[in-house]
Amino acid sequence: MKLWGRIRKDNETAASQTVVVHAKSAYEVEDWSEPFAKLCHDLDIARPVILKKHIRDLERFGHAVFLPSDFLESVDFDRFEAEIF
């Protein structure tokens, strides 16, 4: 499966990137930190704090949204979206 990350600013996609996750479904992923580390590195942004809510959203809906409050560092975008496909 693949994880697609999008940076949204002013309701437009400012940047996007895709990484391969070596699992058949979101339920099989034991540690989300590695795919998110690669995705954020490729997008040149800080890594967000991944909460159980984000993992639950990925497993149930295949989509999670990270707001600026989910980052320890300040960010210059409105939201970071991650979607499984």
Helices (H), 1-85: 33-43, 52-61
How far is the C-alpha of 80 from the C-alpha of 54, rounded, in Å? 12
Task: Give the pLDDT score at 54.
Answer: 96
Answer yes or no: are the C-beta atoms of 61 and 83 closer than 8 Å: no
End-to-end alpha carbon distance in the chain: 6
Model pTM score: 0.91
Instruction: Return per-residue pLDDT of the chain as tens, 85 residues.
Output: 999 999 999 999 999 999 999 999 898 998 999 999 999 999 999 999 999 999 999 999 999 999 999 999 999 999 999 999 8
Q: Is 33 left (phi over 0), alpha (psi -120 to 50) or beta?
A: alpha
